[in-house]
Amino acid sequence: MTTTTIDTAKVLRRRRIRQEWGRPWLYLPLTGLLLLMVTPFLWMLSSAFKSEGDIRRIPPDLIPTSPTLANYRELFSSLDFTRMFANSVIVALAVTAGNLIFCSMLGYALAKLEFRGQRTVFGLVMATLMVPGLVTFVPLYVLVANMKLTGSLLGLILPFLATPFGVFLMRQFISTLPDELIDAARVDGCRELAIFWKIILPLTRPALATLGIITFLGSWNNFLWPLVVAQNESQYTLPVGLALASSGQDFTRFGVLLAGAVVVLLPVTIVFLLFQRHFVAGIATTGLK
């Protein structure tokens, strides 16, 4: 009698745990993986506020015992990270704005309007989705150099203002909007371009948000092109500045490099953590289409 009651209690407890936690044995491998995923970030964040001696202390402290901003001070004074930060922001914002405008315009035309050459335009744009940056960067460099743009941020911006991926994403999304909306507007005498501006654009906000996030991140993290085009420190973006700092100087000052990584990673990480719900939803739906 007593044994059965114990068993029932055990079963009930197990069931309650199951309902609340799911399958408890899965937490161990997942937590292990989570540790692997976030340790580099924790190491970076904590070491960037330590002196060189503290970084090398064994065992390492997770929270710096005597936190210092010396690494950041050196970064911004000797390497002009302020300028690079501003460059990264300007380039990423301009590229994002360009893609939102130009890609949604063509995306709407391809999804909802009829015109001669539609298939050709679509096929051509899609075909270049697969062309690696490596194929175009040499002539692109020559082109931008001949336009005398290597000395300005415009050279970093122009080639990325309109990308095939953006057209693909916007066209896919706009295709799902009902045609009746557009027909009704036409019957009411709305002009073609006004339909795009007043009806379609407000409805595509979720897709625009996704494209905006993806483009901003892509531009913020872009490396090869700014590395090739930027001629001097006044046009460096953050990744270029960081990469050159890590290879140029002797690689013993962990603190300064890690502080640089913090400056590159922290802004986008904060934006991601704040908006991760929309972010993840956007990426997921893009991937499924």
Partner 1 sequence: MTTMPTTTLAGQSTQEGDTAGKRPAATPSRRRSTARGRQSRAAWVLAAPFLALFLAFMLLPVVWSTLMSLTDTQSADLRTPLNVSFTGFDNYVRLFQDPQFFTALRNTGVFVLVALPLTLAAGLAAAVALDSGIRRFRAVFRVGFYLPVITSIVAVAVVWKTLLEPHAGLVNTVLAWFGIDGPAWLADTRFALPVMILMAVWRNLGTVMIIMLAGLQSVPQSLMEAAELDGAGAWQRFWRVTFPLLRPALLLTAVTTGIGYLQFFDEPFVMTDGGPLDSTLSATLYAYKQFGNGNYGVASAAGYVVFVLIIALTVLQFRVLRDKD
Nearer to partner 1, 8 or 32 (CB): 32
Nearer to partner 1, 41 or 80 (CB): 41
Nearer to partner 1, 207 or 257 (CB): 257
Nearer to partner 1, 8 or 39 (CB): 39
Asked if 101 contacts 251 with a C-beta cutoff of 8 angstroms, the reply is: no
Q: How far is the CB of 124 from partner 1 (least distance, A)?
A: 6
d(CA 133, CA 259): 30
The residue behind tokens 């065992």 is 59
Give the list of residues 6+ apart from residue 267 with CB closer than 8 angstroms, or none.
Answer: none
Q: How far is the CB of 77 from partner 1 (least distance, A)?
A: 19
Asked if 144 contacts 231 with a C-beta cutoff of 8 angstroms, the reply is: no
d(CA 24, CA 17): 8
Q: How far is the CB of 234 from partner 1 (least distance, A)?
A: 19
Q: How far is the CB of 80 from partner 1 (least distance, A)?
A: 17
User: Residues 94-127, buried b or exposed e (16+ Cβ, 10 A)?
Assistant: bbbebbbebbbbbbbbbbbeeeeeeeeebeebee
Nearer to partner 1, 5 or 120 (CB): 120
End-to-end alpha carbon distance in the chain: 59
Give the list of residues 6+ apart from residue 164 with CB closer than 8 angstroms, or none.
Answer: 125, 126, 128, 129
Q: How far is the CB of 199 from partner 1 (least distance, A)?
A: 13
Q: How far is the CB of 125 from partner 1 (least distance, A)?
A: 7
Nearer to partner 1, 2 or 121 (CB): 121
